[in-house]
Structure 1
Amino acid sequence: MRIFGAKTESETQVNQKSRIDGQRTEVVIVASAFGADAIRRDGHSVWAAAAARAGAGGFEVRRELFASETDAQVGALAQLGERIRGQGLWAVHSTPATLFRDDGSLDLDTLKLAIDEAAALGARIVKLQLGGTETSVATDAATLDRLMSAIAESKARVVVENGQLKAGGTIGAFDALFTALPARSGLAMTFDTGNWHWAEQDPLDAVKRLAPYVGYVHCKAVMGEGARRFAAAPANGDARFATLLAHLPGDVPRGIEYPFIPGADASLDADAARQVERISAF
């Protein structure tokens, strides 16, 4: 297996093809990039305005950062969606809930709730965690029929993300699910470039096997080891990160899910704008 390193000629061509004649990859700012405490304190709409100032195309609302369950009610979500659109942005609705239960069975109620909340928000994408056991999720015909029937009712594109736990974070579980689903199932994957490390999976192996199913990318590098890992901005010239993006579809949105860091030479707004430009052009 080839390890991460300098991009090959074919990988460079893939990246070049994804940005033809000045086309920009859509960039989403994940709310948590501004800091979880700031989102809970000020609300998502305040920071959606900051995302717009930074030049993002979309803003990812994080359900776990709502100050209370009142924020998840239909009226509150509709109002938030209007404010996000008023900033010229489109929305992603993200929930930490899992599509599959701990025993691997489909959690249809959770899926329907996420779809309903995304509809109230007016989101383009609704994202859940995969869940399931450490090795698998249910892929029998009856389960897949129920899954596809529910997804067919969603106006937002339904995606499942690789998480930081073995349950819902292994390459094999995603591979088995998408292999079992028909090509037009309506389900896609959020490929988180960093979470594979927490689940002790090889990101390059993951991208080679799962790239055809990816509809959204969460971008971050990972610093540290073991329990001390944390998300960080990809460094300039980060060949590992660039190699991952080279393998992924160039026409799907890229979400920034690492913290913006103000400093002596740049405000928070300035760093956000800089990171949007970097991720779009990476």
Structure 2
Amino acid sequence: MIVIPMNAFGEAEVKKNGQAFLFKQLIESDIKGVEIRRELLTPSDRPLEQFQTEHYTVYSAPVELFQADGTFNKENLQIVVQEMTEIKADTLKLPLGSFMKGKSNVKEMDHFFRKALPAGTQWLVENDQTKQGGTIEPLAAFLEICSEEGMEAGLTFDTGNWRYTGESVQKAFHVLKSYIRYLHVKQVNETPEGLQTVAIPLGKSAEWEMILELLPAAVPVALEFPLSMNDLFLYKNYIEKKKAVVQ
């Protein structure tokens, strides 16, 4: 399944028209998966119930699982889960935050999600662009502990974010592959102004394609790079053909 994150259309366009407007366009264009971004919500996007659909929906919220002191961020996550419920999203995507092995209470976290999440939904942690939540060591430690405790914890693997933290994409994939439930693909290049997200290259030598080929075909793939409605289907059709080969 191909998922289109709302930030692919650019912050200015999203805030001008609202995510609900673009969401409707995507659904009418027969896109099967959409990712709604909490940080880009506008007044016109309320009430959140207008995002309810039979299509696959991800709710992405930049609200960390663990606060700066390592404690579980329960109070803020209660609000986020309520918003997810109003949207009827299938997946909730969150950054790790400041997970501290031996101090952060993963059992409290697990109890919260088991009780708060609607039946049939899931939450995933994502490698973001920070040292505490976007490098291999803390993510691997967190996911390993969750696995050892029998907790449901999966990973959104963002191919471009590793550039921001100076980590090897290949090494990260090797270490974290078994936890990946959702793939974000984007190309991040060095420019005079700093790192910049651009459209993914197409071809067998492309890093993201090598990763895609090693994942189960059922893993949803999000196109998180600058898009227009015109070129959206070019990438969508290309990736669907690639996934069909994997399958």
Q: State the 1:89 CA deviation.
A: 2.5
Structure-1-length-normalised TM-score: 0.77
Query: In 2, Cα distance between the equivalents of 1:110 and 1:246?
Result: 37
Query: In 2, Cα distance between the equivalents of 1:233 and 1:279?
Result: 13
The amino acid that maps onto 1:144 is V
Deviation per CA, 1:54-91, whole angstroms, max 9, x where unpaired? 542111110111124x856xxx111232xxx1xx5321
Query: In 1, Cα distance between the equivalents of 2:30 and 2:233?
Result: 6
Q: Does the residue aligned with 1:99 lie in a helix, a strand or coil?
A: coil
Q: Does the residue aligned with 1:230 lie in a helix, a strand or coil?
A: strand
1:270 maps to 230
- How many residue pairs end up in the alignment? 237
Deviation per CA, 1:38-61, whole angstroms, max 9, x where unpaired? 111111121113323554211111
1:17 maps to none
Query: In 1, Cα distance between the equivalents of 2:77 and 2:125?
Result: 11
Alpha carbons 1:203, 1:244 under 8 Å: kept: no
Whether 2:76 is the aligned partner of 1:115: answer: no
Q: Please point out which of 211, 222, 234 is paired with 1:244.
A: 211
Whether 2:124 is the aligned partner of 1:144: answer: no
Query: In 2, Cα distance between the equivalents of 1:91 and 1:257?
Result: 15
Deviation per CA, 1:128-180, whole angstroms, max 9, x where unpaired? 11111xxxx13448711111111112123101111112121110111000111
Runs of 4+ in 1 over 6 A off after TM superposition: none
Query: In 1, Cα distance between the equivalents of 2:58 and 2:101?
Result: 27
1:5 maps to none
Alpha carbons 2:71, 2:104 under 8 Å: kept: no
The amino acid that maps onto 2:7 is S
Query: In 2, Cα distance between the equivalents of 1:207 and 1:175?
Result: 11
Aligned counterparts, 1:193-204, within 5 A: 193-204=159-170
Q: State the 1:119 CA deviation.
A: 0.9
Query: In 1, Cα distance between the equivalents of 2:104 and 2:194?
Result: 41
The amino acid that maps onto 1:190 is T
1:254 maps to 221
Whether 2:54 is the aligned partner of 1:79: answer: no
Structure-2-length-normalised TM-score: 0.88
1:263 maps to none
Query: In 2, Cα distance between the equivalents of 1:190 and 1:198?
Result: 16
Alpha carbons 1:97, 1:129 under 8 Å: kept: yes
Between the aligned residues of both structures, percent identity stands at: 27
Q: Does the residue aligned with 1:101 lie in a helix, a strand or coil?
A: coil
Q: State the 1:115 CA deviation.
A: 1.6
Q: Please point out which of 231, 254, 272 is paired with 2:197.
A: 231
Give the unaligned 5+ runs of structure 2: 243-247
Alpha carbons 1:50, 1:269 under 8 Å: kept: no
Whether 2:13 is the aligned partner of 1:38: answer: yes
2:96 maps to 130
